[in-house]
Amino acid sequence: MTEATIIHIAQESVKLCLLLSGPMLVTALIVGLVISVFQAVTQIQEMTLTFVPKILAMVFVFFLTMPWMLKKLIEFTQNLILNIPYFIK
């Protein structure tokens, strides 16, 4: 296994991690912005008002995208396992 192979696997792992966390992070960002605007307009400064909707939205998006995320993880893992003979050379 060469250094280039290790770097390539690490890069692909980081890309996959960012790809899988993206939908939930974008959801948290959008919900956070909407709630911040709502709080600025109404001048309600309740801390739980920011966390509860974010958590609920992220859980909803997680369950919505879970089949796609599992498919991506399985493809990545299968690719790693199938290429083990080439990594050993």
User: Which pLDDT belongs to residue 50?
Assistant: 83
Whole-number pLDDT of residue 73: 96
Rounded to an integer, what distance in angstroms lies between the CA atom of residue 28 and that of residue 25?
5
Residue 71's pLDDT is: 97
Is 21 part of any domain? no
> In which band, very low, low, confident or very high, does the pLDDT at 28 lie, cut at 50, 70 and 90?
very high
In a domain, 51, yes or no: yes
| Domain assignment of residue 22, yes or no | no
Q: Is 70 within the bounds of a domain? A: yes
The verdict on residue 8 lying in a domain is no
pLDDT digits (tens, 9 = 90+) for 35-89: 989 988 988 888 778 889 999 999 999 999 999 999 999 999 999 999 888 888 7
Q: Tell me how long the chain is.
A: 89
* C-alpha distances out from residue 63 to 26, 60, 70, Å: 15, 5, 11
24 in any annotated domain = no
Q: What are phi and psi of 46, to 5 degrees?
A: -95, 125
Residue 13, domain member (yes or no): no
Q: How many domains does the chain have?
A: 1
State the residue range of the domain holding 89.
Answer: 29-89
pTM (two decimals): 0.78
Q: Does residue 6 sit within a domain?
A: no
